[in-house]
A = this chain, B = another copy of it.
Amino acid sequence: MLLANLREQVLEANLDLVRKGLVFSTFGNASGVAHGEGLIVIKPSGVPYEEMKPEQLVVANLEGQVVEGNLRPSSDLPTHAALYRAFPSIGGIAHTHSEYATAWAQARLPIPCFGTTHADYFHGPIPLTELMSDEEINGEYEANTGVAITRVFQTIDPVRVPAVLVPHHGPFAWGPDPLKAAETAWMLELVARLAYLTVGLNANASFLGKTLHDRHFLRKHGKNAYYGQASAKE
Q: Using A75-B219, A211-B138 as known contacts, say yes or no to A106 and B97 having CB atoms under 8 A apart.
A: no
| CB-based contact B202/A196 at 8 Å | no
Q: Quick one: CB contact mask for A221-234 with B, threshold 8 Å, 1 for yes?
A: 00000111110100
Stretch at the interface among A33-41, A79-87, A112-120, A151-159: A112-120
Task: List A72-129 residues whose CB lies under 8 Å from chain B.
Answer: 72, 75, 97, 99-100, 102-109, 114-117, 120
Known: A168-B208, A187-B25. A202 touches B117 (CB 8 A): no
B103 touches A201 (CB 8 A): yes
A: number of interface residues (CB 8 Å): 64
Contacts of A197 in B (CB 8 A): 99-100, 103, 106, 196
The answer to whether A71 has its CB under 8 Å from any CB of chain B is yes
A142 to chain B, nearest CB (A): 9
Whether B108 pairs with A205 at a CB distance below 8 angstroms is yes
Q: Determine the distance from Cα of A126 to Cα of B34 in the docked complex, in whole angstroms.
A: 43
Interface residues of A (CB under 8 A from B): 24-27, 44-47, 71-72, 75, 97, 99-100, 102-109, 114-117, 120, 131-132, 134, 137-138, 141, 168-170, 183, 186-187, 190, 193-202, 205-206, 208-209, 211-212, 215, 219, 226-230, 232
